[in-house]
A = this chain, B = another copy of it.
Amino acid sequence: MNLELALRMCEAAIKEAARAGALVSVAVVDAGGHLVAFQRMDGAEIAGPALAPGKAYTAVAHRIATADLAPMVQPGGELYGLAADGRYVCFGGGIPLWDGHGEGERVVGGVGVSGGTVEQDVACAEAAAALWETA
């Protein structure tokens, strides 16, 4: 991950949000889960600065899209209890970024989006991740 690419990923997510009429925050983190870039659209809610980096961190920490993690942390799910950890945000909008354009074995970063509906957040994160895939 590098800043130049992270900024372009933020822009891709925001472009998708604008298209959908959503107001979001976007975070891109590195392989250590540490923030590289963050952007909050004008008028986007103040929960974003906590939730967007949290989703990106969670996606990296567990190497899974947070939308896929969501059912696993539910009561009865195999990771029930994980959502109680303040570091994790376990609903859709966070996506891990894999080395080797999706074929590799190593997670080298993550993107997290928050502010729209879960569906919108996921679409925005996917727009950013798509840019990563082709970078």
A102 within 8 A of B: no
Closest Cβ of chain B to A123, distance in Å, is 14
Contact flag A33-B35 (CB < 8 Å), given A41-B3, A43-B106:
no
Number of interface residues of A (CB under 8 A): 54
Question: Is chain A's interface secondary structure helix, strand, loop, or mixed overall?
Answer: loop
How many angstroms from the CA of A82 to the CA of B81 in the assembled complex? 9
Complex A-B: 26 CB contacts under 8 Å: A3-B40, A30-B32, A31-B31, A31-B32, A31-B46, A32-B34, A33-B46, A34-B40, A34-B46, A34-B49, A37-B39, A38-B38, A45-B107, A46-B60, A47-B62, A70-B78, A73-B81, A74-B75, A75-B75, A78-B91, A78-B92, A79-B91, A80-B83, A81-B83, A84-B85, A85-B86
